[in-house]
């Protein structure tokens, strides 16, 4: 056991050194400085965000609201999904300027899809009255997953193989412990790549549920993030590169608590470790990797932090509150959304000098 631990820590240190060298060689002078807050026509809490390019992004949130911009946030199309103005749509995944899938947390826990830019929304799935959806992810424009809190001791997990046109329950979803659940704070507690799935939990335990075969077989892996109460756990996952993942969270009832709110994996989520240095400065509901500068960026109700050395040390750069952060699919722009209809783009010192 000691030998394995030493090896793991050595690999952790090596990863940090490599990361630091990459950052130093490519962009030593650049740092995030603040958020450019865009003007939107809504005041809803926006926890669903899907950024496609520098110009095209979708968002969804409370009061059934959806938004779409095609010009980088200068103007917005918006409306209420299928007239459901009492429902909170906490995640949205867009495929292009016209096509998007949105999920409500519950109740009702439903999935809707539009193919004409939000003009019409079709209900494609409705769960039971007790269901509560936490997040959604797509591997490509065909295969996608939605996960939700456990029902009768098993996680709720549904699958689409046709771009969200129809959904089927995965009966082999893993079992949960009493008091264990997910969080719908940002819709980013689930990731998928090829046939591999990662699902995050909190409450009584903070764990990653990992499947290598599309949800047939599962492993549960403990994660050193705060746990033991309904408000504590893992809230967001992101790929870093290759086999590396990052998990952030904390205690949403204690947003300034800056302990045990981050963990990292360097083996596809099969084991997790704490950072060596200081973590983010509070509870964080969203995290993203910005490959352009080798940054990790995390957001939450008391501000935003970034790390330039694989997540081992974090620096706070903004006090603005956000729920979710997303890198655009083309990798050039970082978007964030939050309370009171707030949507923003990340500003860097490079932008300031231009």
Residue 252 in this model has a pLDDT that exceeds 80: yes
Q: List, for residues 100-143, the tens digit of each pLDDT value.
A: 999 999 889 999 999 999 999 999 999 999 999 999 999 999 99
Q: List, for residues 29-67, the tens digit of each pLDDT value.
A: 788 999 999 999 999 999 999 999 999 999 999 999 999
* Percent of the chain scoring above 70 in pLDDT: 91
Residue 243's pLDDT is: 77
**For the chain, which domains are there?**
2-84+186-353 (2.130.10)
| pTM assigned to the model | 0.91
Q: List, for residues 170-208, the tens digit of each pLDDT value.
A: 999 999 999 999 999 999 999 999 999 999 999 999 999
3-state secondary structure the chain: CHHHHHHHHHHHHHHHHHHHHHHHHHCCCCCEEEEEEECCCCCCCEEEEEECCCCCEEEEEHHHEEEEECCCCCCCEEEEHHHCCCCCEEEEEECCCCCEEEEECCCCCEEEEECCCCCCCEEEEECCCCCCEEEEEECCCCCEEEEEEEECCEEEEEEECCCCCCCEECCCCCECCCCEECCCCCCCCEEEECCEEEEECEECCCEEEEECCCCCCCEEEECCCCCCEEEEEEEEEEECCCCCEEEEEEECCCCCCCCCCEEEECCCCCCCECCCCCCCCCCCCEEEEECCCCEEEEEECCEEEEECCCCCCCEEEECCCCCEEEECCCCCCEEEECCCCCEEEEEEHHHHHC
């Amino acid at each position: 056991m000691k030998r394995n631990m030493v090896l793991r820590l050595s690999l952790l240190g090596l990863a940090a050194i490599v990361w630091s060298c990459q950052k130093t060689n490519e962009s030593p002078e650049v740092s995030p400085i603040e958020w450019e807050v865009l003007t939107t026509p809504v005041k809803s809490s926006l926890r669903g965000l899907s950024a496609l390019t520098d110009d095209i992004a979708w968002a969804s949130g409370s009061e059934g609201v959806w938004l779409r911009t095609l010009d980088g946030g200068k103007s917005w199309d918006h409306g209420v999904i299928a007239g459901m103005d009492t429902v909170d749509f906490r995640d949205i995944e867009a495929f292009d300027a016209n096509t998007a899938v949105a999920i409500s947390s519950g109740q009702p826990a439903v999935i809707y899809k539009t193919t004409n830019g939000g003009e019409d929304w079709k209900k494609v799935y409705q769960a039971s009255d007790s269901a509560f959806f936490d997040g959604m992810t797509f591997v490509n424009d065909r295969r996608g997953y939605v996960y939700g809190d456990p029902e009768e001791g098993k996680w709720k997990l549904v699958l689409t193989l046709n771009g969200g046109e129809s959904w089927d329950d995965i009966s082999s979803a893993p079992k949960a412990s009493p008091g264990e659940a997910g969080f719908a704070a940002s819709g980013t507690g689930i990731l998928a790549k090829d046939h591999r799935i990662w699902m995050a939990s909190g409450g009584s335990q903070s764990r990653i549920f990992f499947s290598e075969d599309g949800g047939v077989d599962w492993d549960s892996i403990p994660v050193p993030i705060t746990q033991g109460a309904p408000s504590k756990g893992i809230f967001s996952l992101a790929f870093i590169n290759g086999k590396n993942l990052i998990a952030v969270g904390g205690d949403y009832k204690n947003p300034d608590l800056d302990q045990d709110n981050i963990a990292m994996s360097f083996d596809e989520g099969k084991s997790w470790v704490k950072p060596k240095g200081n973590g983010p400065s509070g509870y964080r509901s969203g995290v993203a990797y910005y490959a352009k500068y080798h940054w990790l960026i995390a957001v939450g109700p008391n501000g935003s932090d970034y790390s330039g050395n694989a997540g081992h040390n974090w620096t706070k750069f903004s006090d603005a509150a956000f729920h979710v952060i997303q890198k655009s699919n083309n990798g050039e722009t970082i978007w964030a959304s939050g309370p009171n209809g707030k949507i923003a783009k990340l500003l860097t010192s490079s932008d300031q000098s231009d």
